[in-house]
Amino acid sequence: MISIQKILVPIDFSPRCAWAARYASNLAHALNAQVFYLHAGAASSLARLREFVGPDAGDRAEVLEGDAAETVVGFARERSMDLIVMPTHAHGRFRRYLLGSVAAKVLHDASCPVWTGVHHQDAPLSDKADLRSIVCAVECDPSCLPLIRWSRDLADSVGAKLHVVHAVPAADETSDNRGEIELRKYLFCRAEAGFVRLFESAGMSVEVSLLGGPIVRAVRESALREKAGVVVIGRGHTQAGLGRLRTHAYAIIRESPCPVVSI
């Protein structure tokens, strides 16, 4: 079973960080965890940080000088944080496609899971960690096994329904062309066989929903259909090579209708 006991929230005093602090507090309550708050800046900012966070801060608010992303990653590693909760930043017509340099660096370098908020500027930021439904998007390779285990443990911890999905980009589910239908059948059968081999070797029993079409769109539509409270994906930072899903991680985060946790 996963054990999420310590959650880190980086704070830059923005409205989205205020959301992250409230959301992490609700998530911690559901997981029986503690939340720690970190600001990268001058030591004189500690009083402002405690005021920003409010009574929940206690003695778990710290200020360290240094580059924001490096400070967050180093603090999380040294203090053995189990999870980082942080927002992405979307400002204006162009920047809505970017995650923000700090979020991108933390996602790239952090060794623990990173839970990011909804990216779109006009998306409502609910403080409630509603985890009744969880979507776990996987590739058909051994990297899916620890990802599914982590997602299943999270679902068990909060009493959620877990939906494991796999996208097959070359399978066009919108086409009624006979050739396309046959190709889709073949690709889905091949993926099913691959998952059977993987799960048999790992002694696991998992139901995987196969989705046709581009990965980012398929994951987004699955999250909407299942009314997911969070999408779980792999970042591949421990993998020698980057799979298709992992190369789409940033795009999935940008387009997801709900928060995304990257393992």
Quickly list DSSP for 199-262.
Answer: HHHHT----EEEEES-HHHHHHHHHHHTT-SEEEE---TT-SS--HHHHTHHHHHHH-SS-EEE
Enumerate domains of the chain plus CATH numbers.
6-116 (3.40.50.620), 133-262 (3.40.50.620)
- What does the pLDDT read at residue 242? 40
The Cα–Cα gap between 6 and 147 comes to 20
**Quick one: tokens of 188?**
């889905």
Nearest to 218 by CA among 160, 150, 171: 171
Lowest-pLDDT choice from 99-108, 122-131, 223-232: 122-131
The Cα–Cα gap between 186 and 201 comes to 23
- Is the Cα dihedral 225, 82, 32, 28 positive or negative? negative
Mean of per-residue pLDDT scores for the chain: 88
DSSP one-letter code for 96: T
- What does the pLDDT read at residue 86? 94
The Cα–Cα gap between 90 and 14 comes to 12
247: confidence class by pLDDT, cuts 50, 70, 90: confident
The Cα–Cα gap between 104 and 111 comes to 14
Question: Which of 43-57, 109-123, 208-222 has maximum average pLDDT?
Answer: 208-222
DSSP one-letter code for 70: H
Instruction: Say what percent of the chain tops pLDDT 90.
Output: 69
- What does the pLDDT read at residue 95? 42
- The whole-number average pLDDT for the span 202-226 is 95
- What does the pLDDT read at residue 125? 64
pTM value? 0.90
pLDDT over threshold 50, residue 102:
yes
**132, HSE (Cβ side, Cα atoms, 13 Å):** 4
